[in-house]
Chain A
Amino acid sequence: MPLLEVNDLHTYFYTRDGVVRAVDGVTFELAAGETLGLVGESGCGKTVTALSLMRLIPQPPGKITEGQIIFDGQDVLKMDDDEVRGIRGNNVAMIFQDPMTSLNPVLTISRQVSEALELHLKMDRSEARKRTVELLDLVGIPSAKKRLDDYPHQFSGGMRQRVMIAMALSCNPKLILADEPTTALDVTIQAQILDLLKNLAREFRTAFILITHDLGVVAGMTQRIHVMYAGRIVEKADTGELFANPKHPYTWGLLRSIPRLDEQRKQRLVPIEGLPPDLIAPPPGCKFEPRCAYRRDVCREKEPPLERVPNAKPDHEARCWGTQEGGWLVDVDWHSEIGDVRVLEEIKQEVASVPAEAAHAAAADANPGARKEGS
């Protein structure tokens, strides 16, 4: 039995401008001790997925409208608030992106770390304090005992993220959700934190979901990767397989558009043309179709399912008409064939033309002009 099972999760936000479909049918599972990377750009729904797992979606405007989240045999969405609180911070812990804002500035470090210990493990003050020192030592905070009564502002960014990790580990969770844990940090500090997370996960056999936009970070950290786009998972594969044999045009685009430190000679980057999708009015067919240089008519009409792909490992799935059995992209070499040049030009024109939010205004502008010409 998997530790975590997410079935057809839908999380929507009801805003003045319309319904934002932030997560729109996400299904995946995670075994105990497994490490999973959720990769995608901002707005693709990766953070909302994580927050939904912990039932931390602000409501209203947000709402989990459909789906099932089974953690350790229990349906999280059917729990009452007390039951959820019993899991949160206990069996499932979270590390947030910004260590500057996710610690309470007016409480000492020891109060914040020992809170979960007292609440979930029913330790008394002095026990909790002792355990806090051990935890801070574990995450590599020098002279932890002396720093117990310091406040967050007395720590640097990297040290604060270590405190966050200590808090996450405090109740021996079965699952850690790490949401961009190193994005706010410098490269050398990022290396320290990733190294720490990796060692701890190995030592405690904790499953973790690492959420990031940086393909480099997940490459060295996780066993499996799910790539998200516009609230959906568009590709699932083993980490090695995903980088060696990616199948979705969006994944190709991501891999081609980032400069690599080991790049041999100066070559032009191939960006993903076009703009990120509008989640209030997503395209009817494949969500990536408006930016895809390999698109065909079918892509606009019908959304492809997430399905096994040919010439790949059995658990490799992609959501693309082209790379599925009999599709036109099955044998494409994504390194050299960057798609139809004409289509690329079309997409570039779209960037140059009307901005998404102004589409309505532009339509309103255009009409009177047209009328004038007609008369």
Chain B
Amino acid sequence: MKTLVVGGNDAIAYAVSKSQVDVVSAYPITPQTSIIEKIAGFIAAGQMHAKFIKVESEHSAMAACIGASAAGGRVFTATSAQGLLLMHEVLHWAAGANLPIVMANANRALAPPWSIWAEQTDSLSQRDTGWIQLYASNSQEAYDLVFLAFRTAEESLVPAMVCMDGFLLTHTKEPITMFDDEIEPFISKRTPRDILDVSNPKAFGSLAFPKDYMPVKIKQHKGMLKALDIFEEVAGQFNEISDRSYSSICQYGDGTDVAIVTMGSIAETAHLAVDRLNNEGIKSRLVKITMFRPFPKKRLAEALKGVEHVVVFDRNISHGKGGIIKDEVTGALGLTNSIGFVCGLGGYDVTEEDMIKSVKGVLEGTIKEDTILWSEA
């Protein structure tokens, strides 16, 4: 293992280069580009043995991944925002076809207006596509989650996306501990599955009458629910070789006055908020969501048990409704004590000061409803 100062995108590329990937098919889009450039460089230098299909759009990128995965290959792609949206139809296809594709998504705000900065609406608006969704709060997590994604995806037969905030994580450089050969036994594990096989010819995805369609979809849903436990299991195995722990929900602190719930790089900033709140005598905890799909209802309920106020920070928006994380957490757990703050859209900065003010507003009773963190000043 070695620790080097690298950018989030580079870390993803390093992880992919160590994941025994067969096929990469990708189309460039800011701020993902350095992932695929680095992968292309690794392949050219002989450090990575994979085919890189330089497709002509993101829709084709995912389509080519589907083909490559259906033939039994371990497959990777990366995209962001508009590219992810363009793939929407085929995201459903990949999941419905039980293909364990892994994709890195650089979270970026959606046009119009054009933006290249961090926001999670792109991936969150794909939450119904049947993909596992993992969110990194720093680049070490982004690196590690790639390995966890491949293993979890393959064992559950559900494709997985590793999401990381654009620029805040993709382009920020920080010390990241990376594997040499230690990862090999972990990443070499392959799970056999039904593939296109000339010695056993089958048709995949044929027209299904209602009586055939529904059981297929029920199986898909159940398979995804199983991924919750599979992820924890795989994370346990990963912990043995890395000393780093992962879980669908990560709790920091055990205060019961308030829990800050959030996802992505703002969870790091929230860490500072929780520390300061605790120093001021406000007993708080941070509940960071690492796996958003499948939705970790049980673990989330445990993490929020006994907490008086739940404050959710959403770096996303579902227009006409509000913050998506707040919505889902509140609905799944039947909360009556949650308030959501939509913040940081288009990459707008969110500081711990912003979070502390928001939390205090809730605790003092001056903020009683979901709010958008924005000051015209």
Same complex: no
Binding site for A on B (CB under 8 A): none
